[in-house]
Amino acid sequence: MYFKILLNYILGYVQIEIEGYYIERFINFCHQQKIFLWNFKKKTEAAATFNVSIQDFRRIKPIAKKSRCKVKIGNKKGLPFLFYRYQKRKIFFLCLFLIMIAIFTLSHFIWNIEITGNETIDKAEIEKILQENNFKIGKSKIGLNTKEVINQIRLQRNDIAWVGIEIKGTNATVKIVEANLKPDIIQEDDYCNIVATKEGRITKISAGNGTPVVKEGEVITKGSILIGGWLEGKFTGTRYVHANGEVWAKVWYTATAQVPFKQLKKEQTGNVENKYSVKINNFQINFFKTLSKFQKYDTIETSKKLKLFSNLYLPIEITQKRNEEYTEIEVTYSKDEAKQMAIEEAKQKIEGQIKQKENILGEQIHEKQTEQYIEVEVIYEVLENIATKEKIVF
């Protein structure tokens, strides 16, 4: 029954007021002719209202005449009347139509490329490869061969183990799994020397196999052979072997740092101005003057892509430019302060390089002072195993 009412809403219906003393007769005539009436309400003794569909309304007129009732049309409801009312608004419908076409066509392009899974590889490098293979923002989704792009990426980079391109809406996600490059493994039965990875003074050398070439206390340079991969016998002559062993040496790490006595220090005033601009594909519209009212300021740019739903990106980008004003203050440090700062700076530089901090044997600090700045050189002495295997090439 509700289905019938809904259908009548789509096809259109009218609210009718009927006046007369033979309303029951009118109802029974309608019943005989199978006319569907609903919401029949009696208003007064001789008047009632009801709803009837447009098609049945034409058939009602003779019935009303027969039962001596007056028919008055009240409200017209339903979609046909709604459309009739909007018939004059042609431009409105034209724009609606155009918007729908625009959304439909724009959703066939890629408007956002996301690259995930890269840890050591730079995003820009992958974007470059993608662009070379004609996979860029603004490309049509139709006729796009992702397999070819994937193959190209895998051919060009051997540090990528797996690439997947997933296109959802207007958003393309490039997933990357990086391959960790394995160092060249020297087989157990290959002949090899042991060479130094760093320069230093040897403190201990213990050869498991092979002939030690250097002695304790000797200063060696990087890459020089420590344990030769050969054995010499009286009767056998020279025989090549797979050398192994440990070589411990004192290695020096140095770092210098300069700290001027007079320094300019930034201090933020707290004054901030926000500027917005809209970027449509590559066309930028600024809503501000490009010049800032501040003399000295830091600029932070954040941009956000518009999207309709979670995956339907539009080619519109809103960029916020935040200018933070700062003032420069001149600070003068004393000699001790500057020295301390320089030492800390230098130490920080070194400590990034040292892997085993417990093996630090000692440190030396040299300083050099001029009128403008103080220069500090920090030397760390570290005990390290500098042995590494190198294949003998004949």
Partner 1 sequence: MSSPQKRKRAKRESRLDRLLEMPREITSNEPKITVIGFGQMLIENYKAILEYQEFYIRISTHIGILNINGFSMNLKEMTTDDLLITGKIESIDFESITD
| Cα–Cα dist 140/110, whole Å | 6
Q: How far is CA 334 from CA 30, 176, 256, 365, 371, in A?
A: 108, 52, 19, 18, 12
HEC profile of 289-323: CCCCCCCCEEEEEEEEEEECCCCCEEEEEEEEEEE
Q: Does 312 bind partner 1 (CB under 8 A)?
A: no
Closest distance between partner 1 and the C-beta of residue 37, in Å? 5
Closest distance between partner 1 and the C-beta of residue 26, in Å? 10
- Chain centre to alpha carbon of residue 317: 14
| Cα–Cα dist 164/170, whole Å | 16
Q: What angle do CA 6, 11, 13 make, to 5 degrees?
A: 80
Residue given tokens 């920080």 in the structure block: 348
CB nearer partner 1, residue 35 or residue 379: 35
- Of the listed pieces 1-9, 66-74, 193-201, 202-210, which binds partner 1 according to CB under 8 A? 1-9
CB nearer partner 1, residue 39 or residue 116: 39
Contacting residue, 21, 28, 300, 366, with partner 1 by CB under 8 A: 28
Contacting residue, 6, 10, 21, 38, with partner 1 by CB under 8 A: 38
Contacting residue, 4, 168, 293, 296, with partner 1 by CB under 8 A: 4
Closest distance between partner 1 and the C-beta of residue 57, in Å? 15
Are the beta carbons of 78 and 15 closer than 8 angstroms? Answer: no
Are the beta carbons of 13 and 54 closer than 8 angstroms? Answer: yes
Contacting residue, 42, 65, 266, 366, with partner 1 by CB under 8 A: 42
CB nearer partner 1, residue 30 or residue 227: 30
Q: What secondary structure does DSSP assign to 134-178, as a single string?
A: T--TT-BSTT--HHHHHHHHHHH-SSEEEEEEEEETTEEEEEEEE
Report the first-to-last Cα separation within the chain, whole angstroms.
Answer: 96
Which residue, 102, 165, 159, is CA-closest to 133?
A: 165
Residues sharing a CB contact under 8 Å with residue 222, sequence separation 6 or more, in sequence order: 196, 197, 198, 199
Closest distance between partner 1 and the C-beta of residue 5, in Å? 8
- Of the listed pieces 27-35, 144-152, 280-288, 370-378, which binds partner 1 according to CB under 8 A? 27-35
Contacting residue, 1, 124, 185, 291, with partner 1 by CB under 8 A: 1
Are the beta carbons of 363 and 381 closer than 8 angstroms? Answer: yes
Q: Does 31 bind partner 1 (CB under 8 A)?
A: yes
**Main-chain phi, psi angles of 72, to 5 degrees:** -130, 135
Contacting residue, 27, 144, 251, 338, with partner 1 by CB under 8 A: 27
Q: Does 40 bind partner 1 (CB under 8 A)?
A: yes
Question: What's the alpha-carbon Rg for the chain, to the nearest Å?
Answer: 43
Q: Does 41 bind partner 1 (CB under 8 A)?
A: yes
Closest distance between partner 1 and the C-beta of residue 51, in Å? 10
- Of the listed pieces 31-39, 68-76, 153-161, 264-272, which binds partner 1 according to CB under 8 A? 31-39
Q: What is the size of the binding site for partner 1 (CB under 8 A)?
A: 20
Q: Which residues from 46-85 bind partner 1, rule CB under 8 A?
A: 50
Contacting residue, 14, 16, 30, 249, with partner 1 by CB under 8 A: 30
Kind of pairing between the strands at 244-260 and 262-280: unpaired
| Cα–Cα dist 208/197, whole Å | 19
Contacting residue, 10, 39, 208, 232, with partner 1 by CB under 8 A: 39
CB nearer partner 1, residue 22 or residue 294: 22
Positions touching partner 1 (CB under 8 A) are: 1, 4-5, 23-24, 27-28, 30-32, 34, 36-42, 45, 50
